[in-house]
Structure 1
Amino acid sequence: MHDTSPSFQCSQLPARSGIGLKVEHRKDIIDQKPDLGFVEIHAENYMGEGGAPHRFLEEMAARYPLSIHGVGLSIGGAGPLDKEHLARLKRLLERYRPASFSEHLAWSTHQEQFLNDLLPLPYTEATLDRVASHVDEVQQTLGRQMLLENPSTYLLFEESTIEETDFLGRIAERTGCGLLFDVNNVMVTCTNHGLDPMAYIDRFPVQFVGEIHLAGHEEIEDDAGQRVLVDTHDRHVSPDVFGLYRHALSRLGPVATLIEWDNDVPPFETLFAEARMADAIMADFAGMEAEAAQ
């Protein structure tokens, strides 16, 4: 059993919707003071020591709870974690004391090279041991819990012997980490591999979930004419994904939910409307829970 020290700070985000923080929306947020549950940033965009990015982030973090989402730790990498990257991440978290920190179940490094992608892993006992060891190291170094995100994938490994949902649950049990449940990634992965996304959600270890992500995806055809979904984060959340979100909340209840829109960033009103849709769906489930408690 790994160290699951109770001194670790767990995710403290409110059960509300949030948005990915974009510099393009600074004036809208200052002028409109929108009712947002939280804002989220990518850690690697703020690893410098000062300047305009930090002035902007300090301003926003004073207004809203902050979630910091990493994309560069390479938790699933075959080699050791990058100690310098981890040290920079620790300084960032100590500076802002975010309500939540999360990373991807993926790898993005080979030897000393960083690959600008989040690559999939074979789900084996050896991989599970390596990921658990890396998660332990991150949490011990940061002194706080990390949420681990389920990936979007486009291929499967023949050597995989563990289902993804079981793999994530076992990592959480061994390390004390939480899970970030990306519902769009469920749609992308299951569609690409001919799996049932509803059944995936039914198997997901929801007891460990501290945050949900929703995003848009592109639909294309491969050379064989097969439907393929690409996790692009450049458009509206699809009705199908909102449907899966409702199904997830039927198991989870309301939980902090981020609208991810990282490319072709829309006007603020468009992004805020997506967040309000998520809030409205959560309110439905909160109302049902209140009725059931009476």
Structure 2
Amino acid sequence: MDQKRIDATVPARAGAGLKPEHVAEILESAADIGFFEVHAENYMGAGGPPHRQLEAVREKYPLSLHGVGLSIGGENPLDKDHLNRLALLNKRYEPGLFSEHLAWSTHDTTYYNDLLPVPYNQVTLDRVCDHIDEVQETVGRKMLLENPSTYVAFEQSTMGELDFLKEIVRRTGCGLLLDVNNVHVSCTNHARSAETYLAEFPMEEVGEIHLGGHAPDKDDAGRPLLIDAHDREVDDVVWALYESVIRRTGALPTLVEWDNDIPAWPVLLSEAEAAERILAGAAAPDLKRAV
């Protein structure tokens, strides 16, 4: 590893998504923050300003590399070029954590900006496991899989989301990225209990937590509908769910996501500091972690 870089290990602290408009202020202020997370697809080019910025940040902070375009749940084979670029990024920046979404975002030659849900059945399970095996073999490291935010349920589903995730972990050896906001969004949209979902979540497999803001709306019948918008502060309900998770697990690397209507750096930093205060009060976990 480049000797100018600090250790790659992501600490059990709060981090923030790295945005180009914040980089100069982050470096000048020597921001006291645990790590930064970047979307892999923003750094698929060979060089230029994005890589110069990221290298400067990587010299001072650990990184988490988060993919949003691999389409793990898609019916087509994984894009080999995309996968090879992910492997090169992992080698180039040595992130402490690497993750992807349980979703699909491609159809034939079309690439969507949305992370679309999958039905939970044996066919999808086999396909997702095959894809994760390919990713981990190509990249040469363990991957974390993020639970999705969902707005509809599939008639084709024959198992619950938690059983689906647990079986993926058992078969592939991957870890999990627990997005607490996604849990709240999905459970609200499907009129289920987020507390019950989290009580049954395999916390011993969690290597990272995500927090983010959501936009409230209503469906055509006037029922509550939440959109995983990443465009505002973390909601009080999500903070409460997160605190209950941390009481159970102990401190874990926690990212605050804010990808739309991006605020000034001090606003995003204050959200990370709120997570840091919760982490600071966490007891040691009584779990045998797989990550």
Asked whether 1:199 is paired with 2:211, we answer: no
Asked whether 1:169 is paired with 2:128, we answer: no
Matched with 1:92 is 89
**Alpha-carbon distance in structure 1 between the residues aligned to 2:63 and 2:221:** 44
TM-score, normalised to structure 1's length? Answer: 0.92
**5+ residue gaps, structure 2:** 1-7, 287-291
Matched with 1:7 is none
Partner of 2:283: helix, strand, or coil? helix
Matched with 2:26 is 29
Matched with 1:292 is none
Contact 2:117 2:150 in 1 (8 A): yes
Asked whether 1:230 is paired with 2:227, we answer: yes
User: One-letter code of the match for 1:185?
Assistant: N
Cα distance per residue 1:166-208 (max 9 Å; x no partner): 1111101111100000000000000000000000000111111
Aligned counterpart for 1:82 among listed residues 79, 84, 93? 79
Matched with 1:44 is 41
Matched with 1:282 is 279
Matched with 1:103 is 100
Instruction: Give, in angstroms, the shift of residue 286 of structure 1.
Output: 3.4
**Alpha-carbon distance in structure 1 between the residues aligned to 2:9 and 2:119:** 31
Matched with 2:254 is 257
Cα gap change, 1:288 to 1:145, in 2 (>3 Å): closer
Instruction: Give, in angstroms, the shift of residue 28 of structure 1.
Output: 1.5
Instruction: Give, in angstroms, the shift of residue 287 of structure 1.
Output: 7.7
| Percentage identity across paired residues of the two chains | 57
Instruction: Give, in angstroms, the shift of residue 221 of structure 1.
Output: 1.4
How many residue pairs end up in the alignment?
Answer: 279
Partner of 1:286: helix, strand, or coil? coil
Aligned counterpart for 2:124 among listed residues 120, 124, 127? 127
**Alpha-carbon distance in structure 2 between the residues aligned to 1:152 and 1:37:** 26
TM-score, normalised to structure 2's length? Answer: 0.93
Contact 2:248 2:285 in 1 (8 A): no
Asked whether 1:147 is paired with 2:139, we answer: no
**5+ residue gaps, structure 1:** 1-10, 290-294
User: One-letter code of the match for 1:36?
Assistant: I
Partner of 1:211: helix, strand, or coil? strand
Partner of 1:285: helix, strand, or coil? coil
Partner of 2:282: helix, strand, or coil? helix
Asked whether 1:15 is paired with 2:12, we answer: yes
Cα distance per residue 1:77-117 (max 9 Å; x no partner): 11100001111111111111110110000001112221221
Cα distance per residue 1:147-174 (max 9 Å; x no partner): 0000000000112111111111110111
Asked whether 1:64 is paired with 2:61, we answer: yes
Instruction: Give, in angstroms, the shift of residue 138 of structure 1.
Output: 0.2
**Alpha-carbon distance in structure 2 between the residues aligned to 1:145 and 1:12:** 14
Partner of 2:178: helix, strand, or coil? strand
Instruction: Give, in angstroms, the shift of residue 251 of structure 1.
Output: 2.1
Instruction: Give, in angstroms, the shift of residue 274 of structure 1.
Output: 0.6
Instruction: Give, in angstroms, the shift of residue 20 of structure 1.
Output: 0.2
Moved over 3 A (4+): 286-289
